[in-house]
Amino acid sequence: MTHSAILAAAGLTPADLSGGTLAVRSPIDGAELALVRETDPAAMPAIIARAQTAFHAWREVPAPRRGELVRLLGEELRAAKTELGALVTLEVGKITSEGLGEVQEMIDICDFAVGLSRQLYGLTIASERPGHRMAETWLPMGPVGVISAFNFPVAVWSWNAALALVCGDPVIWKPSEKTPLTAIATMKIMDRALARFGDAPDGLCQLVIGGPEIGAALVASKAVPILSATGSTRMGGVVGPQVMARWGRPILELGGNNAMIVAPSADLDMAVRAIVFGAVGTAGQRCTSLRRLIAHHSIRADLVARLVKAYASLPVGDPRKAGTLIGPLVDTAARDRMLAQIAKAKAEGGIVHGGTPVTADVPQGAYVTPALVEMPVQTETVREETFAPILYVMGYDSLNEAIAIQNDVPQGLSSCIFTLNLREAETFLSAAGSDCGIANVNIGPSGAEIGGAFGGEKETGGGRESGSDAWKAYMRRQTSTVNYSAKLPLAQGVRFDV
């Protein structure tokens, strides 16, 4: 299919693709896909005001009825899966099955949120006073600003939007400047769901396109009580304090520097498969990508030999082609950062396998072979997150040492151990184990299901999105004590007779 056929199939019209100043290029071949119109920063107050008006209506709609809108969104996404997945591939460079997987993740969170719309449970609490009842109720909070990154251009919006909508909150979405087209196409899918729903308030789901100025308006506005931001630690370090300074609630999903410990008892065949998907899948551009391998000295050489062999046969190229496993990096700047980091690691004593640009038999994008870098120790370069397929390999003797290496980075998103030893597995998951928001046993660090809460600690930002009780971040908790007695006893036995 040609680029224009993919754009058209995803519902994008000539008006969506022209008349603006934001140039969108496909990482596949650098072709300019569109000149998208950006939101005028001066329009932001009106956009936020519309969301506030929508909030006042939407919060009154019963939650299961709000869930119906998300159910319809899930249906529309199912119908549009192939076309939206192909657009993700075109705009981000993901291989076909990962583009489709991203849309599947959107469908999954819709299903989850529909069920959730009947399960926004609060606790009842035993009161210490006779004739009193205590309970907590979860209530809608207000407009949610969603600032998303290029690498999951639509799934991250859906994690936030599906929960926010059932929780009674409107959504204002600022996608990455690199990926406005998938966002526009997704809003058209949302519009179809809204049309079928019938009476949702205007301004319930809005899209704003542009640079930092647009994001800054969401970050600064007291009328946007929740701000969910996915991206770099640097961005989160600016956004988080600003939202908190105006007493808003940030939900941050920032950098990861995810590790795998491979113990002597590990099933190495399984470990190799998990390592390769984790480190080179999505061309190493997931927050959860595997970046550090901590292998026991007794199996390290064997593991590295297997990986060098596996890496050598990985098909790099056009992500639309059947059989390709590694598509392009998002742009040449990402490739240059990757090469610079590899050079730094080499200067720190790293032995580098792969990690070179690929130009033969590929279109004109930023294609690379994935890099495997054997490091003597965990250096400063290893402790930095590089959004590219670089896997640093280090060795260890004792599990405690391995856990210490795993935890000795500023980020705390995802982690895993490959072991068949129960003591090691449980130690890794214990209070003295991994310090990450996600810790897995015998599966890699990436490709998390939507059912769990997603996010991490330390410089990853502490936010949780998606499953489990992450919905609570989108609501306000009200604790109520009701006195149905004819007396007014005080708590803690306090006497105050008047």
Measured from the CB of residue 447, what is the shortest distance to ligand UN1 in angstroms?
Answer: 5
Instruction: Output the 3-class SS for 24-67.
Output: EECCCCCCEEEEECCCCHHHHHHHHHHHHHHHHHHCCCCHHHHH
Contacting positions for ligand UN1 (CB under 6 A): 105, 151-152, 156, 230, 286-288, 446-448
Instruction: Tell me 150's DSSP state.
Output: S
Query: Closer CB to ligand UN1, residue 288 or residue 419?
Result: 288
- Shortest distance in whole angstroms from residue 35 CB to ligand UN1: 27
Active site residue 436: no
**Of the two residues 278 and 355, which places its CB atom closer to ligand UN1 in the complex?**
278
CB of 169 to ligand UN1, least distance (A): 21
Rg (CA), the chain: 24
Question: Which CB, 161 or 448, lies closer to ligand UN1?
Answer: 448
Query: For residues 405 and 108, what is the distance between their CA atoms, to the nearest angstrom?
Result: 35
Q: How far is the CB of 482 from ligand UN1 (least distance, A)?
A: 42
Token duo for residue 320: 């639309």
Strands 414-418 and 438-441, bridge-based pairing: parallel
Distance CA 94, CA 102 (A): 10
Closest by CA position to 335, among listed 355, 349, 353, 352:
355
What is the strand order of the sheet 290-296 is part of? 351-354, 371-374, 390-396, 290-296, 258-262, 414-418, 438-441
Nearer of residues 70 and 109 to ligand UN1, judged by Cβ: 109
The least distance separating ligand UN1 from the CB of residue 465, rounded to whole angstroms, comes to 9
Between 387 and 392, whose beta carbon lies closer to ligand UN1?
387
Secondary structure (H, E, C), 444-458:
CCCCCCCCCEECCEE
287 assigned to active site: yes
Cβ-count burial 268-303 (b if 16+ within 10 Å, e if not): beebbebbbbbbbbbbbbbbbbbbbbbbbeebbeeb
Distance CA(318)–CA(324), nearest Å, equals 7
Report angle CA 432, 285, 229 to the nearest 5 degrees: 75
Phi, psi of 361 (to 5 degrees): 60, 25
Q: Which residues pair with 479 in a beta bridge?
A: 136
- Name the β-bridge partners of 440: 416
Count of beta carbons in the 10 Å neighbourhood of residue 336: 14
Residues 43 and 335: their CA atoms lie apart, in Å, by 36
Query: Judged by CB, which is closer to ligand UN1: 117, or 466?
Result: 466
Distance in angstroms (rounded) separating the CA atoms of residues 122 and 156: 26
- Catalytic residue, chosen from 253, 424, 459, 465, is 253
User: Nearer Cβ to ligand UN1, position 369 or 446?
Assistant: 446
Smallest distance from ligand UN1 to CB 448, Å:
3
Minimal distance in Å, beta carbon 168 to ligand UN1?
25
89 or 151: CB nearest ligand UN1: 151
Q: Least CB distance from residue 287 to ligand UN1, whole Å?
A: 3
* Other Cβ atoms within 10 Å of 498 Cβ, number: 2
Residue type, 306: R
Query: Which residue among the candidates 110, 205, 287, 436 is catalytic per the annotation?
Result: 287
Q: Which residues are catalytic?
A: 253, 287
